């Protein structure tokens, strides 16, 4: 976490590590992602709890419900995890190599938090899939995923764009686009049976 650590030897303060404070910080960052405007809250007090929660939620929900049916499909938990984290690491390295002045963990934090709209899209898709399948079903899901995909990109660009030299923003944003595209594709093609 970004705040100073208390030493474990200190009597009296170790037991009262404020969990609510951390949860509130995470919730505040979620709000910043949902209503993106130019602020550096995500950058200044970065933390990786939010990305972890979102990644675990995403990976759990992309599991299949019933495992012994004929049409087995649905990514394994580890695959989603690996894709999200290695994708984020790759984008961070790329933006640093292009001359960005953002730190490694700040970038991971922003990319992880901006998965929130896509997680919401996944929840909506699962609700929509409870209805009967058909082309309308697919179109609704497609629309929702596209909207949330655009939202993710706008949110992450709002935070990351300032850290890049102005003439290279497109170079830094393109891999973010690919990353969220792959996650959106995983969400769109998920059909539990």
Partner 1 sequence: MTTTAAPAGGARNGAGPEWGGFEENIQGGGSAVIDMENMDDTSGSSFEDMGELHQRLREEEVDADAADAAAAEEEDGEFLGMKGFKGQLSRQVADQMWQAGKRQASRAFSLYANIDILRPYFDVEPVQVRSRLLESMIPIKMVNFPQKIAGELYGPLMLVFTLVAILLHGMKTSDTIIREGTLMGTAIGTCFGYWLGVSSFIYFLAYLCNAQITMLQMLALLGYGLFGHCIVLFITYNIHLHALFYLFWLLVGGLSTLRMVAVLVSRTVGPTQRLLLCGTLAALHMLFLLYLHFAYHKVVEGILDTLEGPNIPPIQRVPRDIPAVLAAARLPTTILNATAKAVAVTLQSH
Q: Is residue 122 a contact partner of residue 190, using CB atoms and an 8 Å limit?
A: yes
Give Cα separations from 18 to 14, 21, 79 (angstroms).
Answer: 10, 5, 33
**Could you say whether residue 190 binds partner 1 (CB under 8 A)?**
yes
**Could you say whether residue 149 binds partner 1 (CB under 8 A)?**
no
Site string for partner 1, 119-138 (x = CB under 8 A): -------------------x
Q: In whole angstroms, what is the distance from residue 102 CA to residue 53 CA?
A: 23
**Could you say whether residue 84 binds partner 1 (CB under 8 A)?**
no
Task: For residue 114, give both structure tokens.
Answer: 């901006």
Q: Is residue 115 a contact partner of residue 58, using CB atoms and an 8 Å limit?
A: yes
Q: In whole angstroms, what is the distance from residue 76 CA to residue 37 CA?
A: 35
Q: Of these, 41, 131, 146, 185, which contacts partner 1 (CB under 8 A)? A: 185
Q: In whole angstroms, what is the distance from residue 182 CA to residue 68 CA?
A: 27
Nearer to partner 1, 24 or 168 (CB): 168
Nearer to partner 1, 80 or 109 (CB): 80
Judged by phi (left if over 0) then psi (alpha if -120 to 50, else beta), residue 99 lies in left
Give Cα separations from 127 to 27, 88, 90, 144, 191 (angstroms).
Answer: 24, 28, 32, 12, 11
Site string for partner 1, 42-81 (x = CB under 8 A): --------------------x----xxxxxxxxxx-xxx-
Q: Of these, 25, 42, 153, 186, which contacts partner 1 (CB under 8 A)? A: 186
How far apart are CB 52 and partner 1 at their closest, in Å?
A: 20
**Could you say whether residue 22 binds partner 1 (CB under 8 A)?**
no
**Could you say whether residue 9 binds partner 1 (CB under 8 A)?**
yes
Interacting residue ranges for partner 1, rule: CB under 8 A? 7, 9-10, 62, 67-76, 78-80, 83, 93-94, 96-99, 138, 167-168, 170-171, 174-175, 178, 181-182, 185-186, 188-191, 193
């Amino acid at each position: 976490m970004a705040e100073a650590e208390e030493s474990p030897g200190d009597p009296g303060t170790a037991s009262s590590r404020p969990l609510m404070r951390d949860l509130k910080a995470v919730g505040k960052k979620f709000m910043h992602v949902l209503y993106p405007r130019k602020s550096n809250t995500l950058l200044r007090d970065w933390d990786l709890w939010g990305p972890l929660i979102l990644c675990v939620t995403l990976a759990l929900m992309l599991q299949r419900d019933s495992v012994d049916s004929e049409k087995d499909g649905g990514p394994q938990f580890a695959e989603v995890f690996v894709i999200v984290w290695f994708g984020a690491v790759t984008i961070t390295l790329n933006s640093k190599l292009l001359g960005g002045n953002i730190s490694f963990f700040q970038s991971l934090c922003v990319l992880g938090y901006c998965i929130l709209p896509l997680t919401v899209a996944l929840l909506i898709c699962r609700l929509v899939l409870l209805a009967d399948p058909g082309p309308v079903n697919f179109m609704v899901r497609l629309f929702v995923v596209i909207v949330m995909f655009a939202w993710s990109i706008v949110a992450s660009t709002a935070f990351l764009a300032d850290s890049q030299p102005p003439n290279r923003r497109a170079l830094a944003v393109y891999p973010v686009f690919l990353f969220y595209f792959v996650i959106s594709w995983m969400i769109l093609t998920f059909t539990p049976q």
